[in-house]
Structure 1
Amino acid sequence: MKEHEIYPLLPIVKGDGLYLIDDQGNRYMDAVSSWWVNLFGHGRSEIKTAIQQQADQLEQVIFAGCSNIPAIELAEKLIQLTPKTLDRVFYADCGSAAVEVALKMSFQYWKNIGQPEKQRFIALENGYHGETMGALSVGDVALYKETYGPMLFETIMAPSPDCYYREEGESWYDYSLRQSDKMAELLEQHHHEVAAVILEPLVQCAGNMRMYHPIYLTRVRQLCDQYNVHLIFDEIAVGFGRTGTMFACEQADVVPDFMCVSKGITGGFLPLAAVVTHDSIYQAFYDDYATLKGFLHSHSYTGNALACAAGVATLDIFAKHNVLADNQILINKLSQVAERFKQHPNVGDVRQTGMILAIEMVKNKATKEAFDWRERRGIKVYQYALTQGALLRPLANVVYMMPPYVITEDEIERLAEIAWQGINLAADAD
């Protein structure tokens, strides 16, 4: 918190499409979609109107023994939108909570069907799934693990398929496939005690936007089937079009046992999350009260009517407009501006998956030697971008763009120029 003496908070008072506006009237392009939640720009009228209309009817009702119309409508739309055979929805109120739900549901499923020995989880190195205790336990952020380690349960960590570390001349496909061999070894050794594998499909977002090939998802799905282990996909950041398809798993043509969604589900208006799963999972909990097989998880704001109304309106935008097709133009533009950065002497990698473009600053391009994290090079890019009217908030030394889908090609050009100049300043800083 002391850093706010050096880097004052931005007092944002209004949002307008791509732009955030502070109390002095300065406008900033929201290049990171306000932490990846904003899909269709700030103040999107359809979503705003849906919330206002719902507020006139019902704002909240207990979701135990009661339901509400927006929650039912949204569940039906999610079932239609998510991959086939995902046909049961459990609501939560944030991404971390959705991960907790999926972990607990998998754990209890095995207990309910008479295999209580399956209690452990396999996750990926460099992964991130949130900051509640279960989510932190299956994540791999060193600072969090070091700080909260004694509070967390032990997870089996598999090497990441992160293609930043592929050999010279090795393709994303070959490296990601090769890395799946390590997962195969772990499952062969531990499958009898493992409830589920959890991972972020295609992009490890908080893990410095590291990316990999869909073949890894294909292989892990095959392995989970082979060894009778659940597969949990954390699509919280990458769902709803961020990777170019509605959900990242579609690019591997695989279906997880549990899909966690949040962030963009309400277009960035209100907190909401959901876990979508198979009816076969649901049936393991469907029993008489005396069996005590019910799923033990509830939050006060589960299925909140206002948030679900925002979710319905968000999914309606996808249904009424050619969002994914229109985004392809923006994806191509991001690819175009990315080319310039590949030649920068302090850029070690440029990578893109759909609407996510990441540029990794390094001290030495040839060896990919990183800048010392204590030098805070990324913050220098952030500070410069603010002076140029852009909220471009790097992850350590990775400058990335994950903008709302209302951005224009000209605005992408402008962001790229700001990022280029910011990287120049950061790389040359003493």
Structure 2
Amino acid sequence: MSDSPIWHPFTQHGLGEPIPLVTHASGAALYTADGRRIVDAISSWWVTTHGHAHPRIAAAIADQAARLDQIIFAGWTHQPALDVAEGLRAIMPPALTRVFFSDSGSTAVEVALKMALGYWLHRGTPRHRILVLEHGYHGDTIGAMSIGARGAFNRAYEPLLFDVATIPFPAEGAEQVTLDALAAALADDPAALIIEPLIVGAGGMLTYPPHVLATMRRMCADAGVLFIADEVMTGWGRTGTLLACEQAGVVPDILCLSKGLTGGAVPLAVTMASEPIYQAHYAADRARMFFHSSSYTANPIACAAAAANLAIWREEPVMGRIKTLVERQRVRLSALANVPGVANARQIGTIAAVDLPGGEVGYLSDRSPRLLAFFRERDLLLRPLGTTVYVMPPYCIDDGDLDEVYAAIGEAAGL
């Protein structure tokens, strides 16, 4: 057993795998206590956009910490939160008029579900059924697990999870099966459909085309069913546009954002809602208020980081960096696709993925720990999803580091 009292997430301590001690970070690199430089090829779990320890974001955090570190947000407000809300209103779809703060992707999703159910209740026509997309992942709180794929991730908690209606993933050539299933499910008057737009993340980096997303949105609108977009992973340029929904011309009723909201520096999330959802809760009756909060809702330090991130998006050529990274990855992925043992090479924006078939598949594949160790020994932070290896780097990663990442994946195909 380890001498450390820390219980790490998604870590089986019984395997005795090494847990490196990271002392500092800069750009696309992490540095460990034993002097190693680690290329962060997955943005430290998909959060770091502009690079680690970004000077503008770090300075905003330090400045805010010396001014106002924390204040209850129920009935009080502060300037960083106002700056973030107005900044989001300026760049997000105009129909999303309201900004509700929370502290993680999971809680942003929980908030979205509660908003949807409250909307129907306060309209006097309660609805409770949630539609979900097969293989989806939306977080690890109870509501988020309930609407995600069932399996080893949540088997122990099955008695706590509520039932949902699952729509088949729109695999290539079988898109109509998905749309037919959605049509049937919509006929039962569900409350909402929640999806990860264009790419299912933890479910295996599975992609589907914008026209399917657009059709699902239109079907929900025609049926009067709320449409929730979980852009916790896909937002902030990951798919090549600010939001993945943009590529389908889709505006959701409710939008979940986190991860890159602060550039990945500190935890913060928002759930943005359309005006009808807000108005359903708006009344002189206190019993109709939206009952959700946490002690650190809209923490001023986290909001200062988000405000700095929004300033970077306004004032720097972030989309240009993303476009360049997309092309740099495309060239390398094309070459990797020809390596024996590599299958199903795919890319959407700055996210690239391949499958390394062979042996057991799935998240608990015996091959996954071997791949993880292989990349760790080569000073790369790559965390396979079973036998799926993906690359989702900070936008500042240089060519040398990208070359190392793709070369290592090619070597790993021969393991």
Shift of 1:375: 5.0
Identify unmatched segments of 5+ residues in structure 2.
1-10
**Which amino acid is the alignment partner of residue 368 of structure 2?**
G
1:366 corresponds to: none
Q: Secondary structure at the match of 2:281?
A: coil
**Which amino acid is the alignment partner of residue 43 of structure 1?**
A
**Which amino acid is the alignment partner of residue 331 of structure 1?**
V
Q: Secondary structure at the match of 1:424?
A: coil
Alignment of 1:20 with 2:33, yes or no, is no
Alignment of 1:135 with 2:155, yes or no, is no
Among candidates 125, 135, 139, match of residue 126 of structure 1 = 135
Q: Which has the higher helix share?
A: 1
Alignment of 1:241-252 (within 5 A): 241-252=237-248
Alignment of 1:51-90 (within 5 A): 51-90=61-100
TM-score by length of 2: 0.94
CA RMSD of aligned residues (A): 1.6
2:3 corresponds to: none
Shift of 1:354: 0.3
Query: Compared with structure 1, are the counterparts of its residues 5 and 145 closer, same or farther at alpha carbon in structure 2 (3 Å cutoff)?
Result: closer
Query: Compared with structure 1, are the counterparts of its residues 271 and 227 closer, same or farther at alpha carbon in structure 2 (3 Å cutoff)?
Result: same
**Which amino acid is the alignment partner of residue 263 of structure 1?**
K
Q: Secondary structure at the match of 2:332?
A: helix
Query: Compared with structure 1, are the counterparts of its residues 390 and 285 closer, same or farther at alpha carbon in structure 2 (3 Å cutoff)?
Result: same
TM-score by length of 1: 0.91
Q: Distance in 2 between matches of 1:326 and 1:152?
A: 41
Shift of 1:240: 0.3
Alignment of 1:143-154 (within 5 A): 143-154=152-163
Query: What per-residue deviation string (whole Å, max 9, x for no partner) do you get for residues 386-411 of structure 1?
Result: 22221111111111100000012332
Q: Secondary structure at the match of 2:202?
A: coil
* Partners of 2:363 and 2:386 within 8 A in 1: yes
Among candidates 335, 356, 367, match of residue 377 of structure 1 = 367
Q: Distance in 2 between matches of 1:372 and 1:157?
A: 19
Query: What per-residue deviation string (whole Å, max 9, x for no partner) do you get for residues 100-137 of structure 1?
Result: 10000100111101111x11100011000001111111
Alignment of 1:413 with 2:403, yes or no, is yes
Q: Distance in 1 between matches of 2:349 and 2:119?
A: 35
Query: Compared with structure 1, are the counterparts of its residues 157 and 129 closer, same or farther at alpha carbon in structure 2 (3 Å cutoff)?
Result: same
* Partners of 2:321 and 2:396 within 8 A in 1: no
1:255 corresponds to: 251
Q: Distance in 1 between matches of 2:297 and 2:374?
A: 41
Q: Distance in 2 between matches of 1:405 and 1:2?
A: 31
* Partners of 2:133 and 2:167 within 8 A in 1: yes
Number of residue pairs matched by the alignment: 405
Among candidates 273, 276, 282, match of residue 280 of structure 1 = 276
Among candidates 298, 302, 323, match of residue 303 of structure 1 = 298
Alignment of 1:26-425 (within 5 A): 26-116=36-126, 118-161=127-170, 163=171, 166=172, 170=173, 175-176=174-175, 178-188=177-187, 190-191=188-189, 194-289=190-285, 292-363=287-358, 371=361, 375-425=365-415
* Partners of 2:336 and 2:406 within 8 A in 1: no
**Which amino acid is the alignment partner of residue 340 of structure 1?**
A
Query: Compared with structure 1, are the counterparts of its residues 328 and 97 closer, same or farther at alpha carbon in structure 2 (3 Å cutoff)?
Result: same
Q: Secondary structure at the match of 1:221?
A: helix
2:7 corresponds to: none
Query: Compared with structure 1, are the counterparts of its residues 96 and 378 closer, same or farther at alpha carbon in structure 2 (3 Å cutoff)?
Result: same
Q: Secondary structure at the match of 1:144?
A: coil
Shift of 1:421: 1.0
Q: Distance in 1 between matches of 2:329 and 2:160?
A: 41
Q: Distance in 2 between matches of 1:350 and 1:95?
A: 27
Query: What per-residue deviation string (whole Å, max 9, x for no partner) do you get for residues 151-184 of structure 1?
Result: 11111111112x3xx3xxx4xxxx4455222211
Identify unmatched segments of 5+ residues in structure 1.
364-368, 426-430
**Which amino acid is the alignment partner of residue 336 of structure 1?**
V
Q: Distance in 2 between matches of 1:326 and 1:229?
A: 37
Q: Secondary structure at the match of 2:96?
A: coil
Q: Distance in 2 between matches of 1:75 and 1:114?
A: 30
Shift of 1:230: 0.2
Shift of 1:373: 6.3
